[in-house]
Structure 1
Amino acid sequence: MKTHLRFIRMISLLFLLLAGFGGLADPQKAAAETGRQLFLFDFGAGPAEKDYMKVEETSAYKKDKGYGFSHLDGIKCKRTEKKEALRKDYCFVNQSAFLTDLENGTYQVTVFASSAEEVALFAEGEAVGSIPAGAKGSEAEKAFTVSIEDGRLDLEWRGASPKVYAVEISKIHQFDFGDGPAAPGFTPVSARAGYDPDKGYGFDDASKVSCTDRGTDDPLRSDFCISDGTSFSLDLPNGTYEVKIITGDALQKTNMDVRANGMLQLYSFGAGAGGYNEKTFPITISDGRLSIQCMTARTLPRVNAVVITKTAYHRTDDKTTVFLAGDSTVSDYEPGYAPMAGWGQFLGGYFTNEIVIDNQAKRARSAKSFVDERSLDAILNRMKQGDYLFIQFGINDAGPDPARHTDPYTTFQDYLRMYIASAQEKGGHPVLVTSQSKRTFGENGVFYNSIGEYPNAMKQLGREMNVPVIDLNRKSLTFYNTIGIEATKKVFMFLEPGESPNYPDGAQDRVHFQEYGANQLARLVTEEISDLNLYPLKRALRK
């Protein structure tokens, strides 16, 4: 094994000695023990950025070093006048490969490069993508997955004098849960896999875990584990990660809520009997450990697999994200609920790819319960400066449930102030959205507001705090009255028996939308974005 990997193992052993061979009590130290998960290289003539190893004109590959260029012919490194980290310098890489020793496994490689012409990327001799000509910002950042089987990564740029700013390499953690055979490239996790500080992963209390194998021909989905009241934990270097969870059972329905480090990430996530589902969520690790807890009051939580991938250590993403905090009328719905949908599902279709929609709205939530369950924290944990937070509550705040109830001009406004202040502290832009009205109309056939004083309380607070308010309540009433009572049945969940396989007995729901209605509500939201001149959102609306 290459020298720099041997050195890392020596450091790992030292950590164990200092810990008295009893495991590392501090998760951050445990994550440091697994430091071989992450390799950061800064290319150029200037000094290396913090935490990065320097790659320059004389950086030829040597076994004792463990990384460098295959040969130095055509390598020329320079400085720039740019102030942005990693773009202060670069190397021209012509007809040479960049090599680095890695333990065998699966890795995500992120390359930061640009050129006057398109640059083709190759890893292990295989094409893995390209960077467009004249790429800037996020376009100059390319991430791909590669499997290492010979202990070394061979990375090439093929183009006209490509400028390479940095390369980041991170281990992808792939866990196959269950007692059956593990899928190729995945680490097996059985009911006996209690947390082991030497391995850096496992269940916090393995006595609360059971696993089952249905014996199908899909090793990743055939088996699963049920963790009743305990978490699966993994030591990780601090940073931002994408976590993918696969759930399903060949015989029974699955449904669960997923929390990561105490914050609700996936709500009512599951699949029908014989089906499987997978979802991905981002999370920022700040204490060296990721803990995933799956729980439900409906069916036992089944986990088939977890895949954890680190995002770019130094992100150059220049896209604006719109986070949605709201209830069931905003949230995304799984295929098993179709044609029921929330307007947040369709909002992204009205924007160019400059805008990213991150829909964190969840069914049955109020302004209060969304905060109490730490779903707002999950948004703030990933919000960056310049992002937007759209906030729509009111329908569930009006109910008698003490876990959700708020009063319009007191506690409701108090919670909204919390959303606003928290977003502004992160450098984000909060936007209040009044709840659309339900399908309620009088004897004269005119639709009226059925959300009580919550829309007015929200508008009053918007004026007080100088925060934009999208008056979806007003817009929805105008829309309903324009199309008429009968036509609103296509907006809301009014279905005849047999019309939808997911609702064989039909439905008469005056609160939730069909896909057509959700799309129309999303359109009304974008009309308000334009009328309020919310930039850069208005500029990114599709024509």
Structure 2
Amino acid sequence: MTKAWKFDFGIGDADVGYTKITDKTDYLPERGYGFTDISRVTARDRKQPDSLKRDMCIPADASFRVDVPNGNYMITVGMGDWILPSCTTLKANPGRLLFHNKAVTAGQYVKESVAVYVRDEALILTFSGPVPRINALEIEAAPNAINLYLAGDSTVTDQPDNGFPYAGWGQMLPRLLKHDVVVANHAESGRSSKSFINEGRLEAIVQEIKANDYLFIQFGHNDQKTDEPRYTEPHTTYKEYLRQYIDGARAVGAHPVLVTSVHRRFFEKNGQLKDTHGPYLQSVRELSGELEVPLIDLAEKSKRLFEELGEEESKSLFMWGAPGEFAFFPNGVEDNTHFQEQGAIRIAALVAEGIREASIWPLSMYLR
């Protein structure tokens, strides 16, 4: 029997079949659900018809946790306020953007369904935005959802909350997909195509991935590193390791997709972007043709974006912050490789664009 959870938020009576959640419902292990910090939650009852719509919790950068088995889930969030407009952003831990600034006019009520991938037996949803509201939450296992697995490095991975606004593009991809597709981000900082495999990370994906799922593969940043555990030669061993990802996906009937490395932010004096990846990019393009694997040329797409913005404005996409600008980087930061959240959102949009352009079917059908 499929397990499901249904929560009614606010201080009025619970709707039939729903568990009531108030601003005093803190998370307890024995309860298995609740807000992780109730000091950031308030509640209101507008005393209008409909038990789900009349009352709500107002979670100001607050997280709601539900202990669930690992797997795929579809969550449906009900949002609205009888007397005020609302605007809510929702993330699933760690920092995966599910929807951004969802606006609901006063007196209206909307439901938004999104997909999440749970690995640590806990679904943690963080609500923020200018005027956040949560009226109802439904969680249902989605064993038949399509999984989009990501294998890659720090530019792709789910960056931890204590590094905000540091983000990988894989964290921002869920908001661009309908609830039929679950993003399973296995990318990890500092890994090359070689070290990812030698640490057993590809094997972990192969053990989960099923027919008609997808595996997106982006490596290259760390394959250039000279240390033995990570270095691959671009024309030989780099291709050989990438083939293992392709073969692993195809062995179970899943679909591999190659992604060229997103560019670093280094400019030539003439205003053009400097190519710091060199032959690694060409090797991915060649392998795509040799093995008939769809290609998303994120290197070319990011090059156009960064050059369009220019040397100064492109800093707004990367981890460039003045002292005191970012809470977790009090001394400031100047990083030309890694993205802040707004940059990761832009790069994720380029990936979605690449899915459409490459006619990756049926995945392209599930883009928002």
Give the TM-score of the pair, scaled to structure 1. Answer: 0.44
**SS of equivalent residue, structure 2 residue 215:** strand
8 A Cα contact 1:331 1:342, kept in partner: yes
Residue 336 (structure 1) aligned to one of 148, 162, 166: 162
Query: Residues of 2 paired with 1:282 and 1:380: CA distance?
Result: 18
Q: Which runs of structure 2 are paired with 1:139-178 in the superposition (5 Å)?
A: none
What is the rounded CA distance, in whole Å, between the counterparts of 2:198 and 2:359 in structure 1?
A: 33
Deviation at residue 282 of structure 1 after TM alignment: 7.2
C-alpha change, 1:491 and 1:184, in structure 2 (3 Å) is: closer
1:451: how far off?
1.1
- Is 1:532–2:358 an aligned residue pair? yes
SS at match of 1:409: coil
Question: Within the alignment, does 1:281 sit opposite 2:173 as a pair?
Answer: no
* Amino acid corresponding to residue 263 of structure 2 in structure 1: S
User: 1:330 and 1:365 mapped to 2: Cα distance?
Assistant: 11
* Aligned-pair Cα RMSD in Å: 2.7
Q: How does 1:110-259 map to 2 (within 5 A)?
A: 110=2, 128=17, 184=30, 242=70
Q: The residue matched to 1:322 in structure 2 has which SS?
A: strand
Q: Which residue of 1 aligns with 2:219?
A: 393
Compare CA radii of gyration and give the structure with the larger one: 1
Correspondence for 1:372 among 176, 195, 198: 198
Aligned to 2:49: none
CA distance in 2, matches of 1:319, 1:451: 35
Matched AA of 1:388: Y
Paired letter, 2:2: T
Structure 1 contact 449–473 (Cα < 8 Å) conserved:
no
Amino acid at match of 1:242: N
Q: Distance in 2 between matches of 1:515 and 1:185?
A: 33
Match of 1:346 in 2: 172
Out of 305, 310, 326, the residue aligned to residue 479 of structure 1 is 305
Q: Does 1:441 align with 2:267?
A: yes
Where relative contact order (Cα < 8 A, 6+ residues apart) is larger, the structure is 2
Q: Tell me if 1:415 matches 2:241.
A: yes
- Identity over aligned pairs, percent: 40
The residue number in structure 1 matching 2:333 is 507
Extract structure 1 runs of 4+ deviating beyond 3 A: 126-129, 182-186
Q: State the Cα deviation string for residues 129-152 of structure 1 (Å, max 9, x = none).
A: 6xxxxxxxxxxxxxx9xxxxxxxx
Q: Which residue of 1 aligns with 2:82?
A: none
Cα deviation digits, residues 205-235 of structure 1 (max 9, x gap): xxxxxxxxxxxxxxxxxxxxxxxxxxxxxxx
Deviations 1:152-177 (A, max 9, x none): xxxxxxxxxxxxxxxxxxxxxxxxxx
Q: Deviations over 1:114-140 (max 9, x none)?
A: xxxxxxxxxxxx9656xxxxxxxxxxx
How many residues are matched? Answer: 254
**CA displacement 1:276-317 (0-9 Å, x = unmatched):** xxx94179xxxxxxxxxxxxxxxxxxxxxxxxxxx98xxx73
1:354 shift after superposition: 1.2
Q: Greater helix share, 1 or 2?
A: 2
Deviation at 1:380, TM superposition (A): 1.2
How many angstroms apart in 1 are the aligned matches of 2:325 and 2:266?
Answer: 24
Q: Tell me how far 1:537 sits from its aligned partner.
A: 1.4
Distance 1:280 1:495, change over 3 A: same
Query: 1:394 Cα shift?
Result: 0.2
Instruction: Label 1:404 to 1:128 Cα distance change in 2 as closer, same or farther (>3 A).
Output: farther
Which residues of structure 2 form unaligned runs of 5+?
5-14, 20-27, 33-68, 72-92, 95-116, 122-139
Residues 384 and 427 in structure 1, CA contact (< 8 A), matched pair in contact too: yes
Do 1:366 and 1:404's aligned partners in 2 also have CA atoms closer than 8 Å? yes
TM-score, normalised with respect to structure 2: 0.64
Aligned partner of 1:412: which letter? Y
SS at match of 1:408: coil
Distance 1:512 1:331 in 2: 11
SS of structure 2 residue aligned to 1:485: helix
CA distance in 2, matches of 1:282, 1:421: 28
Q: What secondary structure, in the 3-state scheme, does the structure 2 residue paired with 1:521 have? A: helix
What corresponds to 1:470 in structure 2? 296
SS at match of 2:227: coil
Aligned twin of 2:182: 356
1:461 matched residue in structure 2: 287
Secondary structure of the residue that 2:338 maps to in structure 1? strand
Residues of 1 paired with 2:30 and 2:166: CA distance? Answer: 37
Distance 2:360 2:31 in 1: 46
Q: Distance in 2 between matches of 1:391 and 1:111?
A: 32
Note the alpha carbon deviations across 1:398-426, whole angstroms, 9 max, x for none. 01111111011111100011000010001
Distance in 2 of aligned mates of 1:340 and 1:437: 17
